[in-house]
Structure 1
Amino acid sequence: MSGRKSRNKGQRREREFAKLIEGRRIPLSGAQEGFENDVEGLGIRWEVKARKNGFQTLYKWLEDEREKPDALALKADRKDWLVVMKLEKLMELMGLNEK
C-alpha cells in the first residue's frame, strides 16, 4: 500500500474509533510535537493500529469457542504487561453502553 493510502486508512480507523468511544481524534497525531497519540476518549490516550491480517492470532485467541475469554493478558520478556479485549467488553466494564 502506498504511503498516502496507508495514511488515509490510518486516519479513517482513527476517526471510526473516536466516534465509537465518543472521543476525539488528535489532529496531526504523530506528525508534530505536542500532538502525541491518535485518539483521546474514555479518559485514555489511544494509539490506533490497523492491519489487514496483522492481528490474526489475537483475534483467534479472543474468539476461542472453548475458553471464551473476556480479555487477553500478554507479556514479552522484559516488557510491560498488555491487555487486549473487545471494545464492547471495555465499555461494559466502564459502565457505558455501546451505541
Structure 2
Amino acid sequence: MSGRKSKQKGNRREREFAKLIEGRRIPLSGAQEGFENDVEGLGLKWEVKARKNGFQTLYKWLEDEREKPDALALKTDRKPWLVVMTLDKFLEIVEGGQQWNRENMSG
C-alpha cells in the first residue's frame, strides 16, 4: 500500500474508532506539538493501529472456542503488562455492564 493510501486508511480507522466510543479524532495527530495521540474518548487518549493481517494471533487467542476468554493479558520481559479485549467487552466494563453494539451507536 502506498504511503498516501496507508495514511487514508489510518485516518478512516481513527474516525471509525472515535465514532464507536463517542469520542473525537485528534486532527494533525502526531504531526504537530499539542496534537498527540489519535483519538480522545472515555477519559482516555488512544493510539489507533490498523493492519491487514498484523494481529491474527491476538484474534485467534480471543476467539478460542474452548477457552472463550474475555481478555488477554500480555507481557514482554522488562515491559509493562498489556490487556487486549474486544471493544464490546471494554465498553461493557466502562459503561457499568451496559451492553454495547453497533445498533446502540446509531442515532
Q: Structures share a fold, TM > 0.5? A: yes
Alignment match, 1:42: 42
Query: What secondary structure sits across from 1:45 in the alignment?
Result: strand
- Counterparts of 1:14-53 in structure 2, within 5 Å, are 14-53=14-53
**Amino acid in structure 2 at the alignment position of 1:3:** G
Structure 1: which amino acid aligns with 2:58? L
What is the count of residue pairs matched by the alignment? Answer: 99
What's the counterpart of residue 81 of structure 1?
A: 81
Q: Tell me, which stretches of 5 or more residues in structure 1 are unaligned?
A: none
Percent identity at matched positions? Answer: 82
1:94 CA drift (Å): 1.2
Gaps of 5+ in 2: none
Q: Deviations over 1:31-69 (max 9, x none)?
A: 111111000001110000000000000000000000000
Q: What TM-score, normalized to structure 2?
A: 0.90
Q: How well do the aligned residues superpose, as a CA RMSD in angstroms?
A: 0.8
Q: Offset of 1:97 from its aligned partner? A: 4.2
Pairs within 5 Å for 1:1-16: 1-16=1-16
Q: Report the residue type matching 2:8 in the other structure.
A: N
